[in-house]
Amino acid sequence: MHLQQRHYVNYILYARYLVVVEIIREADEKNAAGGMDRIAKTLFKPIYPVIAGNAVEETGISEGVCVDLGSGPASLAIAMAAYPGFRIYALDHSPASNEIAEKNIENAGLSERITVLKGPVEKIPLESGIADLVVSRGSAFFWEDYERAFSEIGRILKPGGRSYIGGGFGNAELRDSIVEEMIRRDPDWEKKYRRNMSSDMKQTFLDNASKLKDCSFRCIDDETGLWIIIEKKVEAS
């Protein structure tokens, strides 16, 4: 076989390999998205209205533009829609999750109030100063670049806007029952949960929030979970 022919064959084999890798990746992504949707509709189902209520109570914001980061199947976004003054964006980087989110939103009759967006939290496809409230439950523990993500949160918040970002189960009763069941299903899950709720994760939130020059912040670490509240400062007139 001539050298040029060998290069061509190698190119074809490599191209086929990339196709197979992409097929496997898409299958894994769909499985993960489907699994999150199932647990959100069963074991985790009661937490979302509670977390939505906590977000409104802690931030004092119950209307305007709400952005749910790492929305997955849009469970929290749908719960936030219980407050009729919100116009909601549900952002996730996963096409499989977004497809499920679209169906869930449609089934909830909320297509006119919740818009699904594709993109990473490190590059949110929204204009600056648009958001009154930015929420996220569970995705922050998996962000790849915290500094960029927090910078983007600060960018999209309007003056006086606030965030409620982190993770947890909303209250002690839900936390205890769900943690017990999750450990029963998968003993290794407890390590992940403890890592997510750890002092190291709390410090990561605080360190990156402190880099936002035009924002104040505080952290909640109690029976509701671990949450960072960022407030965009209002310029003095």
- What pLDDT was estimated at residue 31? 66
The three-state DSSP-derived secondary structure of 144-188 is CCHHHHHHHHHHHEEEEEEEEEEECCCCHHHHHHHHHHHHHHCCC
Q: Is the pLDDT of residue 104 over 80?
A: yes
DSSP code, position 27: H
Residue 90: beta bridge partners? 68, 116
CA–CA gap between residue 95 and residue 98 (Å, rounded): 5
Of the candidates 181, 134, 141, 179, the one whose C-alpha atom is nearest the C-alpha of residue 161 is: 134
In a domain, 102, yes or no: yes
Please give the pLDDT value at position 22.
43
- pLDDT at 236 (0 to 100): 72
Give, in order, the Cα–Cα distances in Å from 64 to each of 37, 67, 84. Answer: 27, 10, 9
Confidence at residue 6, expressed as pLDDT on a 0 to 100 scale: 62
Over 90: is that where the pLDDT of 227 sits? yes
The total of structural domains in the chain comes to 1
Type of residue at 198:
S
pLDDT at 34: 86
At 12, is the pLDDT very low, low, confident or very high (cuts 50, 70, 90)? Answer: low
Residue 133, judged by CB atoms within 10 A of its CB (0-12, 13-18, 19+), counts as buried
Q: Is residue 28 part of a domain?
A: no
pLDDT of residue 139: 96
Residue 97 lies in a domain: yes
Using a cut of 0.85, tell me whether the model's pTM lies above it: yes
Q: What are the pLDDT digits (tens) for 24-73?
A: 344 455 667 888 999 999 999 999 999 999 999 999 999 999 999 999 99
Q: Does residue 5 carry a pLDDT above 90? A: no
Q: What is the CATH number of the domain that holds 103?
A: 3.40.50.150
Token code pair at residue 89: 């964006």
Q: Which two three-digit tokens encode residue 115?
A: 């818009």
Is 2 within the bounds of a domain?
no
How are beta strands 225-232 and 215-222 bridged, if at all?
Answer: antiparallel
The range of the structural domain enclosing residue 196 comes to: 47-232
Q: Strand (E) positions, 70-130?
A: 85-92, 114-118
* Mean pLDDT for the chain overall: 91
- pLDDT, residue 15, reads 52
Whole-number Å distance between alpha carbons of 48 and 137 = 9
Q: Is 189 a member of any domain?
A: yes
